[in-house]
Chains A and B, each alone.
Chain A
Amino acid sequence: MRLTGVATLVTAVCFGWAAEAAEVAPDQVKFEDNMVAASLTDAPGNPEEGVKVFVNRGLGNCLACHVVKSLSKEQFHGNVAPALDGAASRWKMEELRAIVADSKKVFGEQTVMPGFYSLEIGDNVRKDLVGKPILTAQQVEDVVAYLATLKE
């Protein structure tokens, strides 16, 4: 009984560690030609999870700045930035990953869009958020998978 417990614990720890090791850390993401070629995780992105992250005000909150016509049931789309309808026809998957992970690498330092998987951020970050990107690696992959469905 005790032994099984310990064994389970050990297995859990190993898997936990393995799962983390498979993630690319925010400061290890490789940007090349406005692209991030490799997935940030092992698991493929899930567009259904992605759209949840996309609309959630505490996570992506992408509608704060972007309109998406197919999401018209969601209230209050901002217009600080271009509508994302057809984004997947304008950008490759690898470019969309780069835009979401750190838009400044694609649009330049002046862009208003936050870097969602970057630690190159503003001063005086709220104490409980220091060292943490806005989204997890998996959430970025999920959002990118959702963006990939926005074809013209």
Chain B
Amino acid sequence: MKRIVLAALAAVAAMSGSAFTAAADPVDDKLVIDDKEMIIRAPAPEGHPFEEVMSGWLFREAETRATEADSFANPGMLAVEQGEEIWNTVEGSAGKSCASCHNDAAESMKSAGASFPKWDPDSKKPINVELQIDKCRVKNMGAEPYKFDAPEQVALTTYIKHQSLGQPVKLDLASGEMQSWFDKGKDNYYNRTGQLNFSCSSCHEASMGKYIRADHLSQGQANGFPTYRFNTGGMVSLHNRFRGCIRDTRAEMPKAFSDELMALEVYVTWRGTGLSVETPAVRQ
């Protein structure tokens, strides 16, 4: 009953939206994937500019939301399947696959996706899932690191993060020098770039919930990455998204996995603390 009322409300809201802009508020709905209820609203951690952190899912159109809620319809699940294949494929001079050491990803990777970026004592930097994969390929398999956004890198990252579906994002900022990277990332977040002179906060904080042209601005959360995008008909990695948002300020784009973007990933991921991992989320 409640769901029907909600659906009716949503329909009315959609119809009453003017020709210029549709209703500007995030929807009031639940997201259940594979019988698991996702945490799509969570109380913000201390020091956060918002009271509540919200999943980007809440800001998308009904059709896009429905596609993410249905694993059979979600085209991102194809990347999960490809990732599983790679997980089990032997590569490199050591004659090993990921599974040789990590066995069943459903067990060994159950919470990894919710806790990256992590401090890496070897490189003395934070690493994300993509860089951890490269580290294992080089150090443990005798294989080459992937090129940024190689389809294998995106698929394997999607597969690993998907193992944490539903788990709340939580970073360990006390480990190593994570805190100083967090601070750097925060500076980057509020720093204005480009000829258009925007910071991340211009759009995802000051204008959150509003429309910029046809785009309903969300909080710019990282919990659904890599995401499937209808626009491009493919998967989008987090650093690809960061670079796209920076390009749109008419600035030079920093390199993927550069110190600048790794610091940003630490900070942006923290801004989604408590939200479920939704990989692969669906966006338009």
Give the interface of A toward B (CB within 8 A).
57, 61, 63-65, 67, 72, 75-80, 110, 112, 114-115, 121-127, 129, 132, 134
Chain B nearest Cβ from A125, distance in angstroms = 5
Question: Interface residues of B, CB < 8 Å — how many?
Answer: 28
**Cβ contact within 8 Å between B252 and A77:** no
Q: Of A78, A112, A122, A127, which one neighbours B211 at CB under 8 angstroms? A: A78
Docked complex Cα distance between A132 and B210 (Å): 29
Q: Of A64, A65, A78, A125, which one neighbours B250 at CB under 8 angstroms? A: A125
**Cβ contact within 8 Å between B20 and A80:** no
Q: Of B20, B191, B194, which one neighbours A77 at CB under 8 angstroms? A: B20
Docked complex Cα distance between A61 and B212 (Å): 10
Stretch at the interface among B40-48, B145-153, B196-204: B196-204
Docked complex Cα distance between A115 and B191 (Å): 16
Q: A133's closest neighbor in chain B, by CB? A: B195
**Cβ contact within 8 Å between B195 and A79:** no
Give the interface of B toward A (CB within 8 A).
19-21, 24, 191-199, 202-203, 206-207, 210-214, 217, 249-252, 254
* Secondary structure dominating the interface of A: loop
* Secondary structure dominating the interface of B: loop
**Cβ contact within 8 Å between A129 and B250:** yes
**Cβ contact within 8 Å between A80 and B211:** yes
Q: Given A123-B251, A125-B250: A67 and B195 within 8 A (CB)? A: no
Chain B nearest Cβ from A103, distance in angstroms = 10
**Cβ contact within 8 Å between A72 and B19:** yes
B213 contacts across to A, CB distance below 8 A: 57, 61, 63-64, 76-78
**Cβ contact within 8 Å between A127 and B21:** no
A110 contacts across to B, CB distance below 8 A: 206
Q: A74's closest neighbor in chain B, by CB? A: B20
A124 contacts across to B, CB distance below 8 A: 193-194, 251-252, 254
Q: Report, nearest first, the 8 A-B pairs whose CB atoms are least far apart.
A: A77-B20, A122-B192, A122-B193, A76-B214, A122-B197, A124-B251, A121-B197, A122-B194
Docked complex Cα distance between A151 and B75 (Å): 49
Q: B210's closest neighbor in chain A, by CB? A: A80
Chain B nearest Cβ from A85, distance in angstroms = 11
Docked complex Cα distance between A80 and B210 (Å): 5
